[in-house]
Amino acid sequence: MVCIWVLHLYQRRYREEGARKRAATQWLTFLIIGMWAAAWLFRQLRVGDEWLIVVTALAAGLLVWQHEAMLPFRRRCARCRKPVGLESMMCRDSNRCEACEPHTTEGEAPR
């Protein structure tokens, strides 16, 4: 959980380029917090641990249903299928390698 928060804070460096991936890490954090809250609540109410399987199945179902929003991280370039760097994979929404990414100078609009 802390690692996801650290990643989320690191992604803030890429405000314009990585808004979608930053939102995805936030949703993953909410999902983990929800599972922790359910486990705590079950313990307080003395509900059996086997019911946590239901919570896990619901969380997995939500992850599958919203996979486009919650898992936008790609290991390969969307254009040429070459492996992308870790920074691009985790922080930039374009999912493109350095060769396919349009290069811009400061103040210039992307082509």
Query: How much is the pTM?
Result: 0.76
Q: Tell me how far apart the alpha carbons of residues 16 and 12 are, in angstroms, rounded to a whole number.
A: 9
In tens, the pLDDT along 38-96 reads 999 999 999 998 999 999 999 999 999 999 989 999 999 988 999 998 888 888 888 88
Summarize pLDDT for 10-44 with one digit per residue, the tens: 888 888 888 899 999 999 999 999 999 999 999 99
Q: Would you say 87 and 78 are in contact if contact means Cβ atoms under 8 Å apart?
A: no
